Structure 1
Amino acid sequence: MSNNQNPTSTHPEQRLAELGITLPPAPAPIANFVTHIQEGNLVFLSGQGPLDANGVLSKGKVGAGVSVQQAYDDARLTGINLLAVMKDALGDLGRVKRVVKLLGMVNAAPEFCDHPAVINGCSDLFNAVFGAKGVHARSAVGMGSLPNQITVEIEAIIALEDA
């Protein structure tokens, strides 16, 4: 079985390289909060959005001008930003014992109903990077709006390996 089929045997940062992903600097908070808090062996990551390498946020309403595929890509980009925060917080993504939970929020038109397909962009990324450790509990919900009209916002809870 190749590493693409069994990423659990590979370090997460090696998997990122294999996927052609270079982590950006961790995005700075846009208001009065911090990017993460560690409590015991849990790390709570504040919500991140689809901020690209040029500092541009993807904006719009899913189901009203933004397709499910575009929003999926935005959720994947948001996952990359969450990984950047994890790397900044932990120093080494190999310290991740498992991704415990994601909360995915979709800036959705009232009639939109495929929120899980959007947040799969982040879930699929975490599964590819962490293998079995990336399988997580999750909520995917629609919102009437999100800060700066971004398409998605995702927060995460991560468990750490025992020190």
Structure 2
Amino acid sequence: MANIESRLAVLGLILPPAFTPPPGVVLPFVNVRQIGNRAVIAGHGPQSSDGQIAGPLGKVGAELTLEQGYAAARLTALSMLGSLKRAPGELDRISHWVRIFGMVNSAPGFVRQPAVINGFSDLILELWGPEAGAHARSAVGMAELPFGIPVEIEGEVQIAD
């Protein structure tokens, strides 16, 4: 078993299958676009183990607590790792996390978006360590996100040959 996958197993974490969009929804893009040694990762949201959107849904600071938002960001990391495992194929090929853009479905007046997106960053740093896992990051509030998800995150990684 690969190093990152071993760490996931030790933590009791399972990567979800490919996202299953709601009926009638067409998503005309790829989840991971690799060009050379870089992979750009499309926006991902929290997924349950069956590939569906994971709840709870809604705005952080209204329907969801900060802790629920943090948990959603952690599930979003697993969703993104599932896509990265499918393409380029091995999580151990990720040599560095480069950039993360975290979006939080925020209630008016909610200003703790960085604490929510820490759910993502903390897991990546735990798995890859402080050097390879270090990433530039933005964490912003949005009025709405697709399907009512509380968090959407996109990013970029460097892939080893």
Match in the other structure for 1:144: 143
SS in 1 for 2:78: helix
Q: 2:69 aligns with which of 48, 61, 71?
A: 71
- Does the aligned pair in 2 maintain the 1:105–1:154 contact within 8 Å? yes
For 1:57 and 1:69, how far apart are their aligned partners in 2?
15
- Kept after mapping to 1: 8 A contact 2:45/2:53: no
- Counterpart in the other structure of 1:25: 17
Q: Distance in 2 between matches of 1:26 and 1:88?
A: 9
Could you tell me the TM-score, scaled by structure 1's length? 0.89
**Which residue does 1:48 correspond to in 2?**
44
Normalising by structure 2, report the TM-score: 0.90
**Residues in 2 aligned to 1:95 and 1:25: alpha-carbon distance in whole angstroms:** 19
Deviations 1:5-49 (A, max 9, x none): xxxxx8211111111112121325752111111111100011110
CA RMSD of aligned residues (A): 1.4
User: Equivalent pairs: percent with the same residue?
Assistant: 46
Q: Which consecutive segments of 4 or more residues in structure 1 shift more than 4 A?
A: none
SS at match of 1:94: helix
Structure 1: gaps (5+ residues): 1-9
SS at match of 2:103: strand
Equivalence for 1:4:
none
Choose the corresponding residue for 2:7, options 12, 15, 24.
15
State the alpha-carbon separation in 2 of the partners of residues 70 and 28 from structure 1.
Answer: 22
Q: Which residue of 2 aligns with 1:6?
A: none
Distance in structure 2 (CA, Å) of the matches to 1:90 and 1:99: 14
Give the total of aligned pairs: 153
Q: Which amino acid aligns with 1:61?
A: K
Moved more, 69-78 or 50-59: 50-59
CA contact 1:28–1:35 (8 Å) conserved in 2: no
Unaligned runs of 5+ in 2: none
